[in-house]
Amino acid sequence: MHRMRAHHPTVVAISAATAFSLLGDQMLYAVLPVYFVNLGLAGIEVGIILSANRWIRLATNHFAHVASPRATPRVWLTIAFVLGALTTLGYAATGSFTLLLIARLLWGLAWSFIRHVGVLEVVAHAPLDAPARAMGFYQGVSRVGSVAGLLGGAALVDAFGYVAAVWLLTVTSLASVVLIVRDRTLSTTPAREHAHVQRASLDRQRVVELLLGFSLGIVGPGFVTATLGVVLQPYSADLHLPGLTAATMTGALLGVRFVIESIAAPSLGSLSDRWGVRRTASTFFLLGGAALVLASTRSDAVLLLTLALLAFYFSSTALHAGIAASVSQHGSAAYARYVTASDVGAAAGPLLGWIAVDLFGYAAVGLVLGGAFYLTAALLARVYLK
C-alpha cells in the first residue's frame, strides 16, 4: 500500500484558489435558468451567456500557452484570479445582455490561464511517481468551489437577492488572489519547455490524446449534462413527491457528480499513477461507456439509471485526473491542444445532443451517443496509448 504523502504547498494553494475562483461561474448555472426573466434576459440570451466562455476558450487556450513563458506563474495566476473576480462582479449588470456577455468572455480568458498555468504548476510540483494523484487533488478541491457556487450561490440569491449575492461572491472569490500572493513556493521563473517538447509533433499518441479529450468534453459536459433533464422528466410526476421536479432531480444528480469528484479524485488519480494512463483510460472509458448504454436502455428504472450515472461519474473523474496528468507531462503545447479539444467537445455536445433528441424523438439518445463515444475511446486508448 502506498503511503499517502502531504501535497506540496503550491499544489494546495492553486487548488484552493481555483475553488474560490469558480464560485461566480457556477452560481450562474444554478441561477440564470431560474431568474432570467427577473434579470431582464430572454431565454436564448441565457444559452448564449452560459456557453460563451467555452467558445472563447478555443482561442484563449492557445493564447495562454503562447503567453505563459513571458512572465512567471505567480504573475499570470494573480492577473487571472483578479480578472476572474472582476467578471463575477460584472454579473451584477442585470438587464444588459451585452455586459453580461462581455463578462463571460473575460471569464473564459481568465479560466484559460487559471487552468493552463495552474495545472502545469501542479504537475511540476507533484512527486515524480504521483502526478495523477496531485491532479486528482487539484480536481477534487477545485470542485468544492463548483458545489459551493451551485448550492451556496443559489441560496445567497434566495436569501439576499441577486445583486447582493454577486457582491458577496466577488469578495469571497478574492481569496484566490490572497492564496497565490502568499504562496512563496510558486515557480519564480517563466515556464520554459525542453527543446524536444517544443518540437513535439502531433504523432499518433498525441492525436489519440486529443480524441480522448474531445470525448471527455462532448460526453460529460455535453451529451449527459445537457440532456439529463429531459431523461428525468417523467419521474417528477411518477414519484409523487412534493416539490420534486425534473430540474431538482437533475440538479441533485449533477451536484452528486461534483461531490464524487471532490471526494474520490485524489484516490482515483493515485490509481492512475499505479496502473499507467493506458490501462486507466481503457478501463474507465469501458466502464463509463457501459454505464451510459445501460442507463439509456433502462431509463425507465430510476434506481438503475441513478446507479449507472454514478458509475459514469466515477469513471469520468478517474479519466480527467489520469489523462490530464499524463498529457501535461508532455509540455505546455500538448496540454493547450488537449484542453482545447475537450472544450470543442463541451461546446458542441449540448447542441448535438438536442439535435439528436429532436431528430430521433428519444429522450435518452444523448446517453446512447455518450456511451458510443466512451466505448470507442476505450478501444483507442487500449490500442494506441503507451
Q: Are residues 231 and 316 in the same domain?
A: yes
Helix count (H) and strand count (E) of the chain?
Answer: 17, 0
Count how many domains the chain has. Answer: 2
Q: Are residues 106 and 166 in the same domain?
A: yes
Of 192, 224, 255, the domain-final residue:
192
* pLDDT for position 6: 65
- Grid cell of 284 as nine digits: 474507465
Q: Are residues 240 and 177 in the same domain?
A: no
Pair 272, 321: CB distance under 8 Å: yes
Amino acid at 375: L
Q: Are residues 229 and 276 in the same domain?
A: yes
* pLDDT for position 66: 93
Answer whether residue 197 is part of any domain: no
pLDDT along the chain (386 residues), means of 10: 65 95 89 82 83 91 93 95 96 89 96 95 88 90 88 85 94 96 80 46 82 96 83 63 56 75 85 92 97 86 87 94 91 92 91 88 92 98 92
Residue 282 CA from chain centroid, whole number: 21
Amino acid at 30: A
Show the 3-state SS of 114-181: HHHHHHHHHHHCCCCCCHHHHHHHHHHHHHHHHHHHHHHHHHHHHHHCHHHHHHHHHHHHCHHHHHHH
Of 192, 225, 252, the domain-final residue:
192
Answer whether residue 282 is part of any domain: yes
CATH of the domain at 102: 1.20.1250.20
Sign of the torsion angle spanned by Cα atoms 103, 108, 112, 114: positive
- Grid cell of 189 as nine digits: 521563473
Q: How many CA atoms lie less than 13 Å away from 250 in the CB half-sphere?
A: 17
* pLDDT for position 198: 42
* pLDDT for position 129: 83
Closest CA to 121 of 17, 10, 20: 10
Q: Determine the structural domain holding residue 353 and report its residue range.
A: 204-384
Answer whether residue 105 is part of any domain: yes
Q: How far apart are CA 322 and CA 371, in angstroms?
A: 20
Q: Are residues 102 and 166 in the same domain?
A: yes
Answer whether residue 153 is part of any domain: yes
The full DSSP string for 353-368 is: HHHHHHHH--TTHHHH
Q: Residue length, the chain?
A: 386
